[in-house]
């Protein structure tokens, strides 16, 4: 009897082990394909080593095909000649994977590499694949290695013939997100997506070399997020989108017209449009319903505070203001308070900046140390008096990203410690935001200078904190 019991227990253990090993593998291919869809293409392909059963299952994935070669692009940034050898390898990689795919659909296709006109045939084929697989999210990023937004000679042109598809054949009808970077597309083709892709919620177009006009309109339009950047020939943008929530624009000055955007709550502006239009003509701002505003002031040269607007229209609903800029090392940035002072309900202020040490030397050489100091002193006193007029009763969180601990940031921090009566948290991030060509990225690098000095100034600032406020140093 005891032998039978031992045998039964042994068989039960063996059966349990088999169940543990095989329970997933016993599922139908279709179910396993759905499981693999939660992984990106690299992760899904790695499952082929699990067993013979899994060898080809990744081909059934309906998830994300993200052909990310960012590491290779970083290497190529130092050696442009590598593009001649790496681009064909990238093309072959994408071809091999897409030709092997056996699934009936695909959620996302992302192509991101420095590819130009010489790869038109391959890119056309990949877009055709996206149509056949009814891709929901499509990203085609052909930005050059150095990130230049002016390099348009070798730009790929979106094929209009792909859009002329009979109604009974697959199309972009399931598209919810489309991102085109360094892809030349016509106004007509862009209008096609907006008129026929009724599920489209997010549209991003960058460095479209020939685009002159953009009109976003349609009663059935579900578009929620619109991002237009660095289209150098762009002249007019008209937006009539009742579901639009966020709008981002970077590039030359344009005629921007919002006709009907009742849900618009977040706006980001940068480059020449922000510099020349927003700062020089603040009275034209009519975005009173905004809850978040991001301004990329890019570069504030010596003496910039002299002509900075002292009065902005009221942002009555603004909760979060983010300012990005490059400042001069020993000049005040108190003039930025004219924007915060126009935001009575401001809850969070984020400052992302880096210090330009060279600009100070150029200005000093030109005017002489004495004349420079006199001019700055006069302007600083004027802005100190102006800043006292502003109230910051709702401001609770202030974030300095790029904290160095010198005059620009220390003076502004002290000002808010005195004027923000509801302050709960001040964050000092001793890393600088990365700046590439014409735009900022979210990457952070160590500060340029003395980190110990930055930390010491942060500790000194802590002594002035209100009783309930916290200081966080990163």
Cβ atoms of 329 and 408 within 8 Å: the answer is yes
* Helix ranges, 23-148 (H): 29-36, 41-46, 70-76, 83-100, 120-132
Q: What's the average model confidence in pLDDT over 314-320? A: 89
Q: What's the average model confidence in pLDDT over 330-357? A: 84
Of the candidates 331, 332, 313, 333, the one whose C-alpha atom is nearest the C-alpha of residue 323 is 333
Q: What's the average model confidence in pLDDT over 446-463? A: 75
Higher pLDDT, 248 or 282: 248
* Strand ranges inside 346-455, DSSP E: 348-356, 397-401, 425-429, 431-436, 439-446
Q: How far is CA 92 from the centre of its chain?
A: 29
Q: What is the pLDDT confidence band of residue 258, given thresholds at 50, 70 and 90?
A: confident
On average, the pLDDT of the chain sits at: 75
* Helix ranges, 77-158 (H): 83-100, 120-132
Of 2-6, 33-37, 100-104, which one has max mean pLDDT? Answer: 100-104
Q: Is residue 269 part of a domain?
A: no
Q: What's the average model confidence in pLDDT over 105-123? A: 86
Any idea which of 1-10, 12-21, 282-291 has the lowest mean pLDDT?
Answer: 12-21
Q: Is residue 362 part of a domain?
A: yes
Of 189-193, 244-248, 333-337, 381-385, which one has max mean pLDDT? Answer: 244-248
Q: What's the average model confidence in pLDDT over 77-81? A: 62
Q: Is residue 165 part of a domain?
A: no
- Whole-number pLDDT of residue 363: 47
Q: What is the pLDDT confidence band of residue 226, given thresholds at 50, 70 and 90?
A: very high
Q: Count Cβ atoms below 10 Å from residue 273 Cβ, excluding itself.
A: 18
Calculate ∠ Cα 190-195-199, nearest 5°: 100
Of the candidates 81, 168, 179, the one whose C-alpha atom is nearest the C-alpha of residue 130 is 179
Cβ atoms of 217 and 241 within 8 Å: the answer is yes
- DSSP annotation of 40 reads B
Q: What is the pLDDT confidence band of residue 314, given thresholds at 50, 70 and 90?
A: confident
* Helix ranges, 171-222 (H): 187-196
Q: How far is CA 326 from the centre of its chain?
A: 19
Cβ atoms of 200 and 193 within 8 Å: the answer is yes
Each residue of 31-45: pLDDT tens digit?
555 554 445 555 554
Q: What is the pLDDT confidence band of residue 168, given thresholds at 50, 70 and 90?
A: low
Letter string b/e over residues 75-98, b meaning 16 or more CB atoms within 10 A of that residue's CB: ebeeeeebbeebbeebbeebeebb
Q: What's the average model confidence in pLDDT over 263-284? A: 70
Partnered with residue 236 across adjacent β-strands are 213, 255
Q: What is the pLDDT confidence band of residue 51, given thresholds at 50, 70 and 90?
A: very low
Cβ atoms of 405 and 457 within 8 Å: the answer is yes
Each residue of 59-68: pLDDT tens digit?
666 678 888 8
| Whole-number percent of the chain with pLDDT over 90 | 11
Q: What's the average model confidence in pLDDT over 349-358? A: 80
Q: What is the pLDDT confidence band of residue 283, given thresholds at 50, 70 and 90?
A: very low
Q: Is residue 216 part of a domain?
A: no
Q: How far is CA 176 from the centre of its chain?
A: 18
| Whole-number percent of the chain with pLDDT over 70 | 66
Does pLDDT of 294 surpass 50? yes
Q: Is residue 3 part of a domain?
A: no
Does pLDDT of 402 surpass 70? yes
Domain that holds residue 419: 297-474
Q: What's the average model confidence in pLDDT over 245-261? A: 86
H helices then E strands: how many in the chain? 14, 21
Does pLDDT of 157 surpass 50? yes
Partnered with residue 352 across adjacent β-strands are 324, 401
Each residue of 410-438: pLDDT tens digit?
888 888 888 888 889 988 888 777 665 55
Q: Is residue 346 part of a domain?
A: yes
Continuous segment of H or E residues that includes residue 203: strand 202-206
Q: What's the average model confidence in pLDDT over 56-78? A: 69
- Whole-number pLDDT of residue 34: 52
- Whole-number pLDDT of residue 10: 57
HSE-CB of 75 using CA atoms within 13 angstroms: 9
Q: What's the average model confidence in pLDDT over 68-94? A: 74
Of 98-102, 267-271, 303-307, 316-320, which one has max mean pLDDT? Answer: 316-320
How far apart are alpha carbons 280 and 274 in whole angstroms?
A: 9
Q: Is residue 445 part of a domain?
A: yes
Dump the DSSP string for 354-375. EEEHHHHHHHHHHH-HHHHHHH
Helix (H, G, I), strand (E, B) or coil at 261: coil
Does pLDDT of 14 surpass 80? no
Q: What's the average model confidence in pLDDT over 361-373? A: 50
- Helix 357-367, helix 369-387: angle, nearest 10: 120
Q: What is the pLDDT confidence band of residue 375, given thresholds at 50, 70 and 90?
A: low
Q: What is the pLDDT confidence band of residue 364, given thresholds at 50, 70 and 90?
A: very low
- Whole-number pLDDT of residue 447: 63
Calculate ∠ Cα 230-234-239, nearest 5°: 100
Q: Is residue 451 part of a domain?
A: yes
Domain count, the chain: 1
């Amino acid at each position: 009897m005891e032998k039978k019991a031992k045998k039964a227990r042994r068989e039960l253990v063996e059966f349990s082990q088999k169940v543990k090993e095989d329970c997933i593998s016993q599922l139908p291919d279709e179910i396993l394909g759905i499981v693999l869809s939660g992984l990106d293409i690299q992760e899904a392909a790695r499952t082929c080593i699990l067993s013979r059963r899994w060898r080809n299952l990744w081909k059934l994935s309906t998830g994300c095909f993200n052909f990310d070669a960012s590491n290779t692009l970083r290497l190529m940034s130092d050696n442009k000649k590598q593009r001649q050898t790496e681009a064909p390898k990238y093309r072959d990689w994408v071809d091999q994977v897409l030709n092997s795919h056996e699934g009936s659909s695909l959620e996302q296709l992302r192509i991101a590499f420095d590819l130009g006109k010489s790869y038109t045939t391959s890119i056309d084929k990949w877009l055709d694949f996206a149509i056949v697989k009814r891709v929901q999210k499509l990203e085609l990023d052909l930005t050059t290695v150095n990130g230049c937004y002016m390099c348009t000679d070798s730009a790929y042109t979106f094929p209009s013939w792909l859009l002329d598809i009979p109604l009974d054949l697959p199309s972009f009808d399931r598209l919810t997100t489309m991102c085109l970077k360094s892809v030349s597309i016509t106004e007509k083709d862009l209008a096609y997506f907006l008129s026929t892709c009724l599920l489209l919620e997010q549209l991003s177009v960058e460095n479209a070399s020939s685009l002159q006009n953009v009109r976003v309109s349609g009663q059935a339009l579900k578009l929620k997020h619109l991002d237009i950047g660095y289209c150098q020939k762009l002249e007019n943008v008209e937006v009539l989108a009742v579901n639009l929530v966020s709008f981002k624009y970077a590039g030359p000055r344009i005629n921007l017209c919002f006709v009907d955007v009742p849900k618009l709550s977040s706006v980001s502006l940068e480059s020449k449009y922000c510099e020349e239009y927003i700062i020089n003509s603040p009275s034209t701002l009519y975005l009173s319903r905004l809850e978040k505003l991001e301004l990329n002031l890019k570069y504030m040269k010596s003496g910039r505070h002299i002509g900075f607007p002292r009065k902005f229209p009221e942002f009555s609903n603004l909760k979060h203001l983010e300012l990005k800029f490059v400042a001069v090392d020993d000049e005040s940035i108190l003039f930025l308070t004219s924007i915060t002072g126009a935001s009575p309900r401001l809850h969070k202020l984020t400052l992302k900046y880096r210090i330009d040490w060279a600009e100070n030397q150029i200005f000093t050489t030109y005017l002489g140390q004495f004349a420079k100091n006199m001019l700055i002193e006069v302007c600083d006193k004027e802005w100190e008096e102006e800043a006292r007029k502003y109230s910051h009763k709702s401001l609770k969180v202030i974030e300095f990203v790029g904290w160095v601990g010198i005059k620009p940031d220390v003076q502004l921090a002290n000002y808010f410690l005195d004027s923000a009566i509801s302050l709960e948290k001040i964050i000092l991030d001793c890393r600088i935001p990365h700046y590439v060509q014409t735009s900022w990225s979210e990457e952070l690098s160590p500060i340029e200078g003395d980190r110990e000095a930055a930390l010491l100034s942060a500790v000194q600032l802590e002594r002035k904190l209100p009783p309930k406020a916290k200081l966080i140093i990163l």
